[in-house]
């Protein structure tokens, strides 16, 4: 593996990696690796959507900007009669600006291809339509008002009242945090059943609704199929990557499981950056040599055991998402506090700042 464009003074969690171009499949779907036969079955509780048609720009009213993505801006907008709804629906619009690079255009349409496969699930952001007839191109998505899970966790650090009680606290409770992990597990169970690999699962790519429901989002890195081999030069979320992804360019559902374990650690530490105090190179070397993050003192052993199972060096020994969901089902059925926020030492997990080019 050839590491390229590394700045030794920047700890951004992503690494530029140059890989030889080599195709691993004869079957593609709009640039995605596609699997023939053994078609994935969806969760029977939710209906799949038919592929949406182009949405008329005349029925879209772009409002304020919500943020900047890697290849463009994200806006809040009003959409008239979108996805079978009557009247006006508030949506999120991901824009691909004109005059962008070929890589940006490719990433945009790969994300669009994955979104068209999704169907609907309460723990996955819904795809509502697209505008690709002319520049600028738009992806129209469900609007989720609460922002990212990462920002929700980090904002809660400013709250002085950490309630381990199951209600009444103005900040996040232990049960809230456990439910966040449960929601993400349910969303990922749904995606893995459809053979969709997220490849960038992290709290920054999960959105939180007004009622604190978490929804898996940001499918710009995602691919469809049982396995994907990275062949292009791209920035990578090293701190969330399994060893087989870091060193052999392989992605499967089990690499998403590894990332879920890191996401669980993020939740427990209220949004700290994983592997605190370690550089990118130290993280890569540590993971290769078997290093795993220690149990946060305020974290219940059952949650940490779940993290460790996600970080098994052997992908085959990591749990399936449906098993992770069942484990969290059981934890949610009890009244036990699995994260003791009252004993959280924020100074131990204060690593929050990253470089501007990091997708945090």
69 marked as part of a ligand binding site: yes
pLDDT of 15 reads 39
For the annotated catalytic residues, the residue numbers are 200
List the chain residues with pLDDT less than 50. 1-52, 160-170, 224-231, 355-360
CB 82 within 8 Å of CB 140: yes
pLDDT at 141: 93
What is the per-residue pLDDT across 133-186, written as a single tens digit (0 to 9) for each?
A: 888 899 999 999 999 999 999 999 866 444 444 443 348 999 999 999 999 999
| pLDDT for position 340 | 93
84 annotated among ligand-binding-site residues? no
Give pLDDT, residue 169: 38
147 is in an annotated binding site: no
**What is the structure's pLDDT at 99?**
55
Annotated binding-site residue? 73: yes
72 is in an annotated binding site: yes
Q: What is the CATH number of domain 22-142?
A: 3.30.200.20
Residue 67 in marked binding region: yes
50 labeled binding residue: no
Task: Provide CATH code, domain 149-343.
Answer: 1.10.510.10
According to the model, what pLDDT value does residue 219 have?
76
**163 annotated to a ligand binding site:** no
Three-state SS annotation for the chain: CEECCCCCCCCCCEEEEECCCCCCCCCEECCEECCCCCCCCCCCCCCCCCCCCECCHHHEEEEEEEEECCCCEEEEEEEECCCCCCCEEEEEEEEECCCCCHHHHHHHHHHHHHHCCCCCECCECCEEEEECCCCCEEEEEECCCCCEHHHHHHHHCCCCCCCCCCCCCCCCCHHHHHHHHHHHHHHHHHHHHCCEECCCCCHHHEEECCCCCEEECCCCCCEECCEEECCCCEEEEHHHCCHHHHHHCEEEHHHHHHHHHHHHHHHHCCCCCCCCCCCHHHHHHHHHCCCCCCCCCCECHHHHHHHHHHCCCCHHHCCCHHHHHHHHHHHHCCCCCCECHHHCCCCCCCCCCCCCCCCC
Q: Is 137 marked as binding a ligand?
A: no
Tell me if 71 is assigned to a ligand binding site.
Answer: yes
pLDDT reported for residue 351: 62
Locate the domains of the chain by residue range: 22-142, 149-343
Q: Is position 160 annotated in a ligand binding site? A: no
């Amino acid at each position: 593996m050839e590491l390229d464009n590394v700045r030794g003074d920047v700890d951004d969690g992503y690494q530029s990696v140059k890989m030889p171009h080599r195709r691993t499949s004869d079957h593609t779907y709009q640039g995605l690796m596609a699997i023939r036969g053994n078609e994935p079955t969806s969760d029977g509780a939710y209906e799949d959507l038919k592929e949406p048609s182009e949405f008329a720009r005349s029925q879209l009213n772009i409002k304020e900007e919500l943020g900047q993505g890697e290849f463009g801006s994200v806006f809040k907008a009003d959409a008239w009669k979108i996805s079978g709804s009557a009247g006006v629906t508030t949506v999120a619009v991901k824009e691909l600006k004109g005059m962008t690079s070929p890589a940006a255009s490719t990433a945009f349409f790969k994300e669009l291809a994955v979104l068209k496969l999704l169907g609907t699930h309460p723990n996955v952001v819904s795809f509502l339509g697209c505008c690709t007839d002319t520049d600028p191109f738009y992806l129209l998505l469900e609007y989720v008002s609460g922002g990212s899970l990462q920002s929700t966790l980090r904002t809660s650090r400013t709250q002085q009242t950490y309630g381990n009680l199951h209600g009444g606290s103005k900040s996040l409770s232990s049960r809230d945090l456990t439910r966040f992990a449960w929601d993400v597990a349910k969303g990922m169970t749904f995606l893995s059943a459809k053979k969709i690999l997220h490849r960038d699962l992290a709290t920054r790519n999960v959105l939180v609704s007004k009622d604190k429901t978490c929804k898996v989002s940001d499918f710009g890195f995602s691919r469809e199929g049982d396995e994907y081999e990275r062949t292009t030069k791209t920035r990578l979320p090293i701190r969330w990557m399994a060893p087989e992804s870091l060193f052999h360019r392989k992605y499967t559902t089990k690499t998403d499981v590894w990332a879920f374990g890191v996401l669980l650690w993020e939740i427990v530490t209220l949004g700290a950056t994983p592997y605190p105090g370690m550089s990118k190179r130290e993280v890569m070397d540590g993971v290769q040599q078997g290093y795993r993050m220690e149990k946060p003192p305020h974290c219940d052993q059952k949650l940490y055991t779940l993290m460790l199972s996600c970080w098994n060096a052997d992908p085959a020994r990591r749990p399936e998402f449906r098993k992770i969901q069942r484990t969290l089902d059981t934890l949610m059925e009890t009244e036990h506090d699995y994260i003791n926020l009252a004993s959280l030492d924020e100074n131990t997990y204060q690593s929050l700042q990253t470089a501007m080019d990091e997708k945090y």
